[in-house]
């Protein structure tokens, strides 16, 4: 694909089921209720000038560039903060609006450097585009008097620069840090003309602040105020390729923006189902390996480890490898050959590797790193649900009312998912953390777990059984759901087992070291708090009792009816981005693709 900026509709999408029809510049458009006039205009092919608005954060209404006229409404409301109404008639292009927008743009430009030709954001700058959009040709106010043009450049961050002389105080970076990332590292310091973006306390720069370099502020900035160092050095990209980050288990989708074969920057893709346009420091900035001088880009062979590598053609490399493998097979048998698949590869690649080993080598000697982190999930969920996969996508967390995190540290291990989780928690969702550690989710800015159960390591099953005991003995199980969706006889056997006094929180407190009162309160919250979602990580699966713990988690979800809809479910947080697909494709020695056992049974 060529280089085209990602579409920006100005304000977030409305999730209402009610449709509203209005007219914008003579065109009828139907959108969900709650949609802004700005977004409605963008969805029908229009474009209202904007500077402070972007669809990754809530409407702000400060720049006054997006003014419109609405029949029957006084004044010129901001389209970003004005919701659509049934039968509304909107005008986005009138002589009055043209004068107002041009006057506002003159004020912005009167305190902005006029170095567009040498600016790193030249031809990739929303301020530049908006000035052209409103037809600005001159600035009546001149450039004399107080201004911010001499503000010092902050180059402390290793990945991007902050140039306050080009800042228009739109607050998009501040809001992205707050709403998208949830770090709240930035703020607007001062009032009026003295307003400026500040990274923490007075005297702090970006490096010494709470900034985690996720890049959300850089993504949101409409000017060159926040700009990647690589773009300054290399220049504007000329094409973009959609790809997947392989650093962690989230599997964020990125646009690799390039000049020729040189990578310029990695930009999170808004349509990525795992990240929805957000990223962490690794995915956004840690891509130096792509252009590194030590990267191997040509096939090489050698006869022994003592010989130097020789660069050869692909045909020679394939022939050499095949001959060596056949020689080993002839001398030692098919079982002397094997292979390991990667859970960072695509399903197609993994399938081909296991097919090569089984059909080409003639053995089942194939394995994968997912054996450590996925096998307990695969076994536990297949025994309880009949399938080895987690039940939800990452979007589902935005509908959760109660979130239980066990054996995982999302802010460190799955940071992009953690940002979405924290956003939901700030909206009012409750949080239960079951972990020996006091992870960041227990308490961080604007986030505090309702219950932290610091269990004794190795007592996962005991804690979950005590929670189940509380739910069953206090009558908190969803019997209607169980009778309709589960096996009632099996449930009664399980309920009788967990109801035994030896499984009560009080009896197990010396084992788990979790106060019984806390554990009972957490169980009540999960069972009665609305949509309950459980997220678990390698602290559960990479454990001697991993499969039993996964089954205990699944049983809790079924007993409380927290399965089968958005905002609930059993959600494993994996170690790599395609653990599920790697195992689905037959990466275990005892299972063929689709989890068919090699015995044929």
Domain segments of the chain as ranges: 19-93, 160-291, 297-332, 340-374+576-601, 387-573
Both structure tokens of 118: 């040498």
Q: Which DSSP letter does residue 334 get?
A: G
Alpha helices per DSSP H over 333-388? 347-355, 370-373, 375-384
Task: For residues 571 and 541, give the distance between their C-alpha atoms in angstroms, rounded to a whole number.
Answer: 12
The candidate with the shortest Cα–Cα distance to 186, out of 151, 163, 212, 159, is: 212
Which ranges constitute the DSSP H helices of 67-155? Answer: 95-109, 126-133
Q: Which tokens sit at 197?
A: 């973006």
Nearest to 48, CA basis, from 116, 129, 118: 129
Here the tokens at position 23 are 């007219």
From residue 75, alpha-carbon distances to 10, 67, 78 in Å are 21, 9, 10
Regarding the domain delimited by 387-573, which CATH topology (the fold level of the hierarchy) does it fall under?
Answer: Dimethylsulfoxide Reductase; domain 2 (3.40.228)
Task: Give the pLDDT score at 372.
Answer: 80
Q: What is the pLDDT of residue 601?
A: 59
At 47-79, the pLDDT tens digits run: 999 999 999 999 999 999 999 999 999 999 999
Contacts of residues 40-47 at CB distance under 8 Å and 24 or more positions apart, as own/partner, are 40/84, 40/90, 41/79, 41/90, 41/92, 42/7, 42/8, 42/9, 42/10, 43/9, 46/92, 47/133
Q: How far apart are CA 416 and CA 582, in angstroms?
A: 22
Nearest to 425 by CA among 521, 524, 535: 535
Residue 2: what pLDDT? 66
Q: Which residues pair with 434 in a beta bridge?
A: 406, 453
Q: Under CATH, which architecture does the 160-291 domain have?
A: 2-Layer Sandwich (3.30)
How many other C-beta atoms lie within 10 A of the C-beta of residue 239?
15
- Rounded Cα gap, residues 392 and 156, in angstroms: 40
Name residue 188's beta-bridge partners.
197
Q: Tell me, what DSSP letter sits at residue 7?
A: P
Q: Apex CA 488: angle with CA 486 and CA 493, to 5°?
A: 115
Cα(512)–Cα(516) distance, rounded to whole angstroms? 9
CA nearest to 519, candidates 502, 506, 536: 506
Predicted confidence at residue 389, as pLDDT, reads 87
- 119-129 residue pLDDT tens: 999 999 999 99
Q: Decide if 219 contacts 56 (C-beta within 8 A).
A: yes
Given the structure tokens 């977004």, which residue do they identify? Answer: 39
| pLDDT number for residue 1 | 53
Total residues belonging to the chain: 601
- C-alpha distances (whole Å) from 38 to each of 135, 161, 271, 290 are 20, 31, 20, 39
Q: How far apart are CA 553 and CA 526, in angstroms?
A: 12
CATH of domain 19-93: 3.10.20.740
In degrees, rounded to 5, the angle at the alpha carbon of residue 113 between the alpha carbons of residues 213 and 195 is: 60
Q: What is the dihedral of CA 453, 455, 461, 467, to 10 degrees?
A: -30
At 385 the pLDDT is 93
Task: Let me know: does 341 contact 587? Beta carbons within 8 Å.
Answer: yes
Instruction: List C-alpha distances in Å: 467 to 116, 434, 491, 494.
Output: 62, 11, 16, 13
Q: Which H/E stretch holds residue 265?
A: strand 262-268
Distances (CA, A) of 63 to 28, 66, 318: 27, 8, 60
366 within 8 A of 591, measured Cβ to Cβ = no
Segments of the chain scoring below 50 in pLDDT: none
The radius of gyration of the chain from alpha carbons, rounded to an integer in Å, stands at 28
């Amino acid at each position: 694909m060529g280089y085209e900026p990602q579409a920006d509709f100005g304000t977030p999408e409305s999730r209402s089921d009610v449709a509203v029809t209005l007219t914008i510049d003579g065109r009828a458009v139907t959108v969900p209720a709650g949609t802004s006039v700005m977004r409605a205009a963008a969805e029908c092919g229009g474009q209202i000038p904007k500077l402070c608005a972007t669809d990754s954060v809530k409407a702000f209404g400060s720049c006054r560039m997006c003014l419109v006229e609405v029949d029957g409404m006084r004044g010129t409301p901001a389209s970003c903060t004005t919701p659509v109404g049934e039968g509304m008639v909107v005008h986005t292009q009138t002589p009055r609006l043209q004068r107002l927008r041009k006057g506002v743009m003159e004020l912005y430009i009167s305190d902005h450097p006029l170095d567009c030709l040498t600016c790193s954001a030249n031809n990739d700058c929303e301020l530049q585009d908006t000035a052209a959009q409103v037809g600005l040709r001159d600035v009546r106010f001149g450039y004399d008097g107080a201004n911010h043009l001499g503000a010092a450049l902050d180059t402390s961050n290793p990945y991007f620069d902050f140039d306050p002389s080009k800042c228009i105080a739109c607050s998009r970076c501040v809001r992205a840090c707050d709403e998208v990332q949830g770090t709240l590292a930035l703020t607007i310091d001062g009032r009026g003309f003295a307003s400026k973006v500040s990274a923490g306390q007075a005297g702090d720069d970006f490096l010494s602040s709470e900034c985690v370099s996720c890049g959300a502020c850089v993504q949101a900035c409409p000017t060159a105020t926040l700009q990647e160092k690589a773009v300054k050095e290399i220049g504007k990209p000329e094409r973009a390729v959609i790809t997947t980050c392989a650093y962690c288990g989230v599997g964020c989708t990125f646009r690799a923006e390039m000049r020729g074969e040189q990578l310029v920057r990695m930009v999170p893709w808004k349509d990525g189902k795992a990240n929805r346009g957000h990223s962490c420091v690794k995915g956004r900035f840690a891509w130096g390996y792509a252009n590194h001088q030590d990267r191997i880009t040509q096939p090489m062979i050698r006869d022994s480890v003592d010989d130097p590598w020789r660069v050869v053609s692909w045909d020679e490399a394939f022939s050499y490898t095949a001959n060596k493998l056949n020689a080993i097979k002839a001398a030692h048998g098919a079982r002397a050959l094997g292979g390991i698949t990667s859970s960072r590869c695509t399903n197609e690649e993994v399938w081909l590797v296991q097919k090569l080993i089984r059909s080409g080598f003639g053995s089942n000697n194939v394995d994968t790193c997912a054996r450590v982190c996925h096998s307990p999930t695969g076994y536990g969920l297949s025994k309880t649900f009949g399938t080895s996969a987690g039940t939800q996508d990452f979007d589902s967390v935005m509908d959760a009312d109660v979130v239980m995190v066990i054996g995982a540290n999302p802010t460190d291990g799955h940071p992009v998912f953690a940002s979405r989780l924290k956003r939901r928690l700030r909206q009012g969702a409750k949080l239960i953390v079951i972990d020996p550690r006091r992870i960041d989710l227990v308490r961080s800015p604007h986030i505090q777990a309702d219950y932290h159960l610091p269990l004794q390591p190795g007592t996962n099953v005991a804690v979950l059984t005590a929670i189940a005991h509380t739910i069953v003995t206090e009558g908190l199980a969803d019997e209607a759901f169980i009778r309709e969706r589960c096996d009632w006889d099996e449930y009664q056997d399980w309920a009788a087992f967990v109801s035994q006094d030896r499984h009560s929180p009080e009896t197990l407190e010396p084992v788990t070291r979790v106060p019984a009162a806390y554990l009972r309160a957490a169980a009540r919250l999960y069972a009665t708090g609305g949509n309950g979602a459980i997220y678990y990580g390698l602290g559960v699966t990479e454990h001697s009792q991993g499969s039993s713990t996964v089954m205990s988690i699944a049983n809790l979800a079924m007993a409380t009816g927290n399965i089968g809809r958005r905002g609930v479910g059993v959600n494993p947080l994996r170690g790599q981005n395609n653990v599920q697909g790697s195992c689905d494709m037959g990466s275990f020695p005892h299972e063929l693709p689709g989890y068919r056992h090699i015995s044929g049974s």
